[in-house]
Structure 1
Amino acid sequence: MTDDIEGFLRSVPPVDTAGLAGMEGAVWRRVSERSERARVAQVRIAAVVLAVAVGVANGGMMLLAPRPEPSEMRIFTVSAALSPLIGLDALG
């Protein structure tokens, strides 16, 4: 493949360099914005992982904890199955 690179470069019209004056600053600004967004995303992921780990640990501790004995006051609890209105279908 024999391409005349010099010929290609001569065929390109000259570019106005005044329009390119702020380009480098804009590029570096976008790079810093993207890296900041990536950093925020990493912090969010770390927070979610920490929350899941705390939830799993808490759930595991609750499974290992002894269950309390039923209270003597349980005779005063509400039980819908024992309601006198259950046969009348008058409940809610």
Structure 2
Amino acid sequence: MTDDMNELIAAVGPGDAGRLVGMEDAVWVRIGERRERARMGQVRVAAVALALVIGVANGGLMLMAPRPEPSEMRIFTVSAGLSPLSGLDVRG
């Protein structure tokens, strides 16, 4: 289907109105498709904006949260050097 309606109307002769049958329906279908694409674009922008707001709020709350004190169990961490394999210079 041609996109320029003026060309389509000019191409139709005076007695050849059969080519214009269904043109109005096709125009409304295309208008509906464009509206749907625009609506989906707005939904995507809203979803990205909401995710950004939630991420910033979560990050801000994590910065304001008090830091936990070091645990007495830190001697059992891998970085403590107390592993039986640390003397063998084995890396896991």
Do both proteins adopt the same fold according to a TM-score greater than 0.5, normalized to the shorter chain? yes
Deviations 1:33-92 (Å, cap 9, x if unpaired)?
A: 11011001101100100000100010000000000001111111111x732233xxx535
Question: How far apart are residue 19 of structure 1 and its match?
Answer: 1.3
Equivalent in the alignment of 2:87:
84
Question: How far apart are residue 14 of structure 1 and its match?
Answer: 1.9
Question: How far apart are residue 13 of structure 1 and its match?
Answer: 7.4
Equivalent in the alignment of 1:21:
21
Q: 1 CA distance for matches of 2:50 and 2:18?
A: 51
CA RMSD after TM alignment: 2.0
Figure out how many residues of one structure are paired with residues of the other and give that number.
77
Unpaired segments ≥5 residues, structure 2: 1-10
Q: 2 CA distance for matches of 1:42 and 1:14?
A: 43
For the residue of structure 1 that corresponds to 2:78, the secondary structure is coil
Equivalent residue runs for 1:1-92 within 5 Å: 14=13, 16-79=16-79, 82=81, 83-86=86-89, 90-91=90-91
Percent identical residues? 65
For the residue of structure 2 that corresponds to 1:54, the secondary structure is helix
